[in-house]
Amino acid sequence: MRVPRANSREKILAAAADVAREAGPGSLSLEAVASRAGVSKGGLLYNFPTKAKLMQGLVENYLSDFRKALEARAAEASRESVLSAYIKLSADDCERPKPSASWMFSAIAEDPDFLTPIKAFKHQLFERLKGETEDLGSLLVCFLAIEGMRSMNLFDSDVLSEDERKLLVSSLLKIAG
């Protein structure tokens, strides 16, 4: 694999996420992405031969980032549980008021199957946490509460205040032990 002039792939992926977030998931067209990335449509199609490939790229990018971030957190405080790392990571992700993954809605509209890797990852993560936590009930509550937090952030729903979110996180960390 040759080194590109500039790394267009990542620019394009970032642009796609930007477009979905700012113009709405329904406005994620190839032209909009290309324009946003400062790339021609031909250049975009060169990197992602089809829109499906672009969606797939978004999912893979998202997952690899997530994995890296989680692993980094789990490593930096190895005494902590992975569950705690997951809680803190998610709390930080949701700190940012902008939903960074609106592109998921575009992907679902295109084809719901694009999300299967994400579902699989979540399942895998859950299994991993099960092996680590002794009280399944607590794990379930924590895991689902995180899911709820992430979901609210994704939908750009600001039901909770800043303080409430912090209280939630500390409550979850307490439950996680």
Stretch that binds DNA, among 50-58, 81-89, 125-133, 137-145 (CB under 7 A): 50-58
Residue 1 Cα distances to 23, 43, 46, angstroms: 33, 17, 14
Lookup: tokens for 33: 């992405």
C-alpha dihedral sign at 103, 105, 111, 112: positive
Which one of 6, 72, 77, 167 is in contact with a second copy (CB under 8 A)? Answer: 167
Verify binding: residue 149, a second copy, rule CB under 8 A.
Answer: yes
What is the closest distance, in whole angstroms, from the C-beta atom of residue 136 to a second copy in the complex? 6
Stretch that binds DNA, among 39-47, 64-72, 120-128, 153-161 (CB under 7 A): 39-47
Pick one of a second copy, DNA, none as the site partner of residue 149 (Cβ within 5 to 8 A by kind).
a second copy
Q: Which residues contact 51 (CB under 8 A, 6 or more apart)?
A: 30, 110
Determine the residue type at 88.
K
Identity of the residue, 72 or 144, whose beta carbon is nearer to a second copy in the bound complex: 144
Helices (H), the chain: 8-23, 30-37, 41-47, 51-76, 82-95, 103-110, 116-130, 136-154, 162-176
- CA-angle at 148, arms to 22 and 111, nearest 5°: 55
Verify binding: residue 111, a second copy, rule CB under 8 A.
Answer: yes
What is the closest distance, in whole angstroms, from the C-beta atom of residue 144 to a second copy in the complex? 4
**Interface mask toward DNA for 68-107; x: CB under 7 A:** ----------------------------------------
Give yes or no for a contact between 90 and 148, defined as CB atoms under 8 angstroms apart.
no
Which one of 74, 89, 115, 173 is in contact with a second copy (CB under 8 A)? Answer: 115
